[in-house]
Amino acid sequence: MKSKAAVILGITAVALWATFLMGADPARRVPGQWEYGRYVASAGYYDWQEAQRRVQATNPTHFFERMGWPTGTEVNSPTGRVPALVLNYLGHQGWELVELAQDEVKRDVYWFKRPK
């Protein structure tokens, strides 16, 4: 008899809890606050731009130095490693790649965003 009462009490408690949850206001979503960055690259042209900073260089080593990134790794165009290195370093800083396109002169244009 006691176990039957415990089961009924348990079912009633679950039903009341479910009713309470259904009536609760859903969490209010705050619109995302993003900052955006753009990296443009082609042979002899490396350019990073965000709201408060722009970095330009004519070779990958100078670009990495100006960005404040380590240059111990070989960073030259023929290795084909520059895009991967740039993506990795920007990713470590919270930037997420959202689009890759080419501009009118066939330079690769990478668009990034990250939470403010």
99/88 Cα distance (integer angstroms): 16
20/29 Cα distance (integer angstroms): 21
- What pLDDT, on a 0 to 100 scale, did the predictor assign at position 70? 80
46/4 Cα distance (integer angstroms): 74
Helix (H) or strand (E) holding 55: strand 53-57
pTM: 0.68
- What pLDDT, on a 0 to 100 scale, did the predictor assign at position 111? 98
- What pLDDT, on a 0 to 100 scale, did the predictor assign at position 25? 54
Q: Which amino acid is at 105?
A: V
Q: Which residues of the chain have pLDDT under 70?
A: 1-30, 72-80
